[in-house]
Amino acid sequence: MPRRVMQGVVVSDAMDKTIVVKVERRVMHPIYKKFVRQSKKYLAHDEANAAKAGDIVRIRECRPLSRRKCWELVGAAEDEGAEGRIDAASGAGATDGATGQEGRPA
């Protein structure tokens, strides 16, 4: 059986050789038929302590390394549109460059 691979954002790198990765997925609501975002946090093994908070990374399933840690860091995600690091202070919404407003165009 192949190992699962997921992509997410590093939320915390405070532990030694361990990172917390938040993986978001879109699921259709069974009643309202609207796509909603669901997220889950995974502990992943980072042998070299290479990943920093805000990095977009790929993690792969592995043998259990501790009670909650059964994922390992594969590397940085190679997305064309992603810059590779997300600023935690900035919001998730996109802003209009001309007016700085979120949401509707002017």
One DSSP character per residue, 50-77 reads: ---TTBEEEEEE-S--SSSEEEEEEEE-
Comparing 62-66, 77-81, 89-93, 99-103, the range with the smallest average pLDDT is 89-93
What whole-number distance in Å separates Cα of residue 39 and Cα of residue 104? Answer: 26
How do the domains of the chain map onto residue ranges? 5-76
> What mean pLDDT value characterizes the chain?
85
Report the amino acid identity of residue 28. M
| Token code pair at residue 62 | 């592995």
CATH number, domain 5-76: 2.40.50.140
pLDDT average, residue stretch 4-9: 97
Residue 98 pLDDT > 60, yes or no?
no
Single out the residue of 58, 62, 93 nearest to residue 73, CA to CA.
58
Per-residue pLDDT of 14-51, as tens digits, reads 999 999 999 999 999 999 999 999 999 999 999 999 99
